[in-house]
Amino acid sequence: MEHPIAVIDFGSQYTQLIVRRIRELGYFSKLYQPEELRETGEPAAVILSGGPRSTLEADAPDIDFDYLVSMGVPVLGVCYGMQLLNRKFGGEVAPGNTREYGPATLLAEKSIEGIFNDLEGHSQIWMSHSDTVSELPEGCQVMGTNLDGIPVALKWNDRFFGIQFHPEVSHTHEGQKILQNFLEMGVNLPKFKIASFKDELVQRVRDEVGERKVVCGVSGGVDSSVLAALIHESGVDSRNIFVDTGLLRKDEAEEVASLFGEVGIEIETIDASEKFLSALKGVTEPEEKRRIIGRLFVDVFFDAVGEDVEMLAQGTLYPDVIESATSGSIASTIKTHHNRVDRIMEMKAEGRVLEPLDELFKDEVRELGRVLGLPERVVGRHPFPGPGLAVRCPGEITEEKLKIIREADDIFIGLLREKHWYDSVWQAYAALIPTKTVGVKGDERSYEYALSIRAVTSEDAMTAEWVHLPYELLGEISNRILNEVDGVNRVLYDISTKPPASIEWE
């Protein structure tokens, strides 16, 4: 049996990204906690990740170094991992006062055999650290420095390497090549295949659910649809619930029911739109809106399925895990919202929440959906946030505003599909700007809302770029919205990147 390449998690927010990059190179990799080193079996290689702590702290995460050496495989330490290895080999690390975060230049010493083979060798790298290596043990070679001559890459021996930058982030321009060079030192590299990964996930669902009944909340989005299909495939006892919050897009409830019907998955729809809209009446503060929606969603959901629900399935993906910093990882908290409410956290603590997609990124979930036989119309869908149109309707939510957003969004998305832009865009939508401005309609002055349309490309929603849609298309979208949607007299195209903007308006 092939053993995955082991990535040891010291808590960096990028750790799972290393796993993903390895999958992109075609190899099978898994994340382990430092104390699980012996459970990695016989991996072809081991990577020690970065982390937010200092190796100099008394209770800093550690590794069983003797065992690591005895494994006889190539080892790469990244940031924290490199500092830890340097100390294990007898070198020193000095505390830093501030965290160095951002781009730097790698000057690679290419004559030294190892992870820099065939590199251009003078390229951008991405740093994120405070401590630095201050003393090298005997026999350690410096494989690369930054422009100030500070070592950023070390080779302790033919199998042990360290880098003081993140090869997994796209800002490290030769990062993928460095990972590939490192992995190629391993023997019997395990291949990653989505079909066998699917089998593994099906088994995980069966093992975690057992004889219990699992309830799955579906939204029509890619994640929950793939989740429902995976559960369906695993044959466990399940029920799919779809809550109509009244914050959905035009005709969405009907469309979701028919798409699921096509693939033989039964769903139960609960129309709770009136409840949501009356609870949101007069509320303008974005976090308050989210809170109301989150709580009500859980209430409606549990009213429908009963208090004694044995197990709950959630389509949590890896980016959600790091953004909400859930249990099981030492990743630092970045954001605390995203559909997480107390009740579910309680169930989670009791091992009653099934989240089989939590190691995957969106494009991998799509691929999994295809392997599970879901139609392209489902797997290719743009992401849609849990709080729905509420995050596209700043200020008070009213039926009038929602109707405007729905109609405009329908025209916009319809045109993106018709002009073959839909699939090359990560996410697109219309949002209402809650300010009325003056215009002219016919012979009269109008006083109506402005609308923003937004289309972005993104890698897993952590960063985003606006899409350079052709002027002609933007013109057509604007004309159609202005002509066909009552209550709007201005259309703006949002050209903000994330950061500093977010993808949604809130």
Catalytic residues: 79, 166, 168
Give yes or no for residue 498 binding ligand XMP (CB under 6 A).
Answer: yes
Within residues 64-83, the interface with ligand XMP by CB under 6 A covers none
Cα(456)–Cα(131) distance, rounded to whole angstroms?
36
Go through the chain and tell me how many residues it has. Answer: 506
Name the DSSP letter for residue 2.
P
Q: Which part of the chain contacts ligand XMP (CB under 6 A), choosing from 90-98, 177-185, 335-343, 440-448? A: 335-343
Give yes or no for residue 186 binding ligand XMP (CB under 6 A).
Answer: no
Instruction: Output the DSSP codes for 79-94.
Output: THHHHHHHHHTT-EEE
**CB of 334 or CB of 438, closer to ligand XMP:** 334
State the alpha helices, DSSP H only, in 154-193: 175-183
Give yes or no for residue 385 binding ligand XMP (CB under 6 A).
Answer: yes
Residue 458 Cβ, how far from ligand XMP at the closest point, in Å? 8
Give yes or no for residue 339 binding ligand XMP (CB under 6 A).
Answer: yes
Residue 248 Cβ, how far from ligand XMP at the closest point, in Å? 13
Closest CA to 102 of 127, 123, 122: 127
Give yes or no for residue 291 binding ligand XMP (CB under 6 A).
Answer: no
Residue 195 Cβ, how far from ligand XMP at the closest point, in Å? 27
Three-class SS of 371-412: HCCCCHHHHCCCCCCCCHHHHHCCCCCCHHHHHHHHHHHHHH
Binding-site member from 337, 419, 436, 480 for ligand XMP (CB under 6 A) = 337
Residue 292 Cβ, how far from ligand XMP at the closest point, in Å? 12
**CB of 87 or CB of 340, closer to ligand XMP:** 340
Q: Which part of the chain contacts ligand XMP (CB under 6 A), choosing from 93-101, 141-149, 332-340, 365-373? A: 332-340
Cα(37)–Cα(68) distance, rounded to whole angstroms?
8
Residue 117 Cβ, how far from ligand XMP at the closest point, in Å? 38
Name the DSSP letter for residue 159.
S
Residue 151 Cβ, how far from ligand XMP at the closest point, in Å? 37
Give yes or no for residue 295 binding ligand XMP (CB under 6 A).
Answer: no
- The packing angle between helices 222-234 and 362-371, to 10°, is 40
With the C-alpha atoms ordered 496, 501, 504, 506, is the resulting torsion angle positive or negative?
negative
Q: Which part of the chain contacts ligand XMP (CB under 6 A), choosing from 245-253, 274-282, 324-332, 381-389? A: 381-389
- Which residues, including other chains, have CB under 8 Å from residue 351's CB and lie 6 or more apart? none
**CB of 203 or CB of 502, closer to ligand XMP:** 502
Give yes or no for residue 387 binding ligand XMP (CB under 6 A).
Answer: yes
Contact (Cβ atoms closer than 8 angstroms) between residue 166 and residue 128: yes
Cα(181)–Cα(32) distance, rounded to whole angstroms?
22
Contact (Cβ atoms closer than 8 angstroms) between residue 32 and residue 350: no
Give yes or no for residue 386 binding ligand XMP (CB under 6 A).
Answer: yes
- Which residues, including other chains, have CB under 8 Å from residue 443's CB and lie 6 or more apart? none
Cα(44)–Cα(187) distance, rounded to whole angstroms?
6
Residue 428 Cβ, how far from ligand XMP at the closest point, in Å? 11
Report the b/e string of 321-359 with b at 16+ CB within 10 A.
bbbbbbeebbbeeeeeebbbeeebeebbeeebbbbbbbb
Give yes or no for residue 502 binding ligand XMP (CB under 6 A).
Answer: yes
Q: Which part of the chain contacts ligand XMP (CB under 6 A), choosing from 181-189, 305-313, 331-339, 369-377? A: 331-339
Q: Which H or E run contains 233? A: helix 222-234
Q: Which part of the chain contacts ligand XMP (CB under 6 A), choosing from 173-181, 186-194, 303-311, 334-342? A: 334-342
Give yes or no for residue 504 binding ligand XMP (CB under 6 A).
Answer: yes
Q: Which part of the chain contacts ligand XMP (CB under 6 A), choosing from 127-135, 175-183, 337-345, 410-418? A: 337-345
Give yes or no for residue 338 binding ligand XMP (CB under 6 A).
Answer: yes
Strand partners, 127: 102
Place of tokens 């494989």: 143
Residue 153 Cβ, how far from ligand XMP at the closest point, in Å? 34
Q: Which part of the chain contacts ligand XMP (CB under 6 A), choosing from 73-81, 111-119, 242-250, 386-394? A: 386-394
Contact (Cβ atoms closer than 8 angstroms) between residue 43 and residue 7: no
Name the DSSP letter for residue 35.
G
Binding-site member from 164, 180, 238, 427 for ligand XMP (CB under 6 A) = 427
Place of tokens 């590794």: 63
How many residues at the interface with ligand XMP, by CB under 6 A? 15
**CB of 401 or CB of 454, closer to ligand XMP:** 454
Give yes or no for residue 383 binding ligand XMP (CB under 6 A).
Answer: yes
**CB of 314 or CB of 489, closer to ligand XMP:** 314
Give yes or no for residue 140 binding ligand XMP (CB under 6 A).
Answer: no
Within residues 454-473, the interface with ligand XMP by CB under 6 A covers 461
Closest CA to 257 of 242, 274, 278: 242
Binding-site member from 222, 391, 397, 485 for ligand XMP (CB under 6 A) = 391
Q: Which residues here bind ligand XMP, judged by CB under 6 A?
A: 290, 337-339, 383, 385-387, 391, 427, 461, 498, 502-504
